[in-house]
Amino acid sequence: MPRVWGPLLITQMRRLGVDSIPISLFLAVFTGIVLALLASNIFTGAVPLYFVGALVAKTIMMELGPVLTGMALAGRVGANIAAELGTMKVTEQIDALETLAIDVHAYLVVPRVVAATLMFPVVTAMAVAVGVVSGWITATSLLDLSTPEFFKGVRQFYHFKDVWFGLLKSASFGCAIAIMGSLTGLRTQGGAEGVGRATTRAVVLGCEAILVLDAFWALILL
């Protein structure tokens, strides 16, 4: 089976992963800014301000980085897969593959699912890094907080588990989004309207899967 999907994997990793980096980093920048400002607003007077660093890093690594990136990519990647496969379905290209004795799942679904599972953690890791840097720049430029204080907060509550927990979640999100997109795409019926319905459904199911998986991993690993 790898003979079928192997050569397609790199293409899908670029399309689903690399091409998703800009939107993910855009989200991360503003998430970092808002988190830093929100933390300083909450902590005013009650908690030392260097806790801003802890909150920004911890929250982005464990929750907002994976989940917000996942939600954005549920729209971008899930919709992309469903629309592409849905269009292939209604134009009989899927039937054509089958008549050529090509395994549709090995040829179309597996490379997308593997690519999303491998690339979501990479994109999320970049988003986390950018989000923390964004929070740091916000804290040092808009709040009364120095760089050493910010990173004192980051270090004080950091555990390696924060990193792998977030990346593991994002891998599961990628897998779920690609499966939802593929299945809804392959079940498309009814022309352009059907493709629209499948695309919407893929995004909704992808977002729901993210929320369920997020709760699942929290219950299992925290």
Contacting positions for other proteins (CB under 8 A): 4, 88, 91-93, 95-96, 98-103
Q: Are 207 and 84 in contact (CB under 8 A)?
A: no
Nearest residue (CB) to other proteins, 9 versus 137: 9
CA torsion sign for 184, 88, 104, 112 is negative
Nearest residue (CB) to other proteins, 97 versus 126: 97
Residue whose entry in the numeric block shows the structure tokens 């690519």 = 115
* Least separation in angstroms between CB 105 and other proteins: 11
Neighbours of 218 (CB within 10 A): 13
* Least separation in angstroms between CB 119 and other proteins: 20
* Least separation in angstroms between CB 218 and other proteins: 39
Q: Are 51 and 153 in contact (CB under 8 A)?
A: yes
- Cα–Cα dist 24/69, whole Å: 6
- Cα–Cα dist 42/113, whole Å: 40
Q: Are 153 and 54 in contact (CB under 8 A)?
A: yes
Nearest residue (CB) to other proteins, 91 versus 147: 91
- Cα–Cα dist 32/162, whole Å: 17
* Least separation in angstroms between CB 24 and other proteins: 25
Length of the chain: 222
Nearest residue (CB) to other proteins, 95 versus 193: 95
The token duo for 187 is 């079940």
Nearest residue (CB) to other proteins, 148 versus 191: 191
* Least separation in angstroms between CB 21 and other proteins: 22
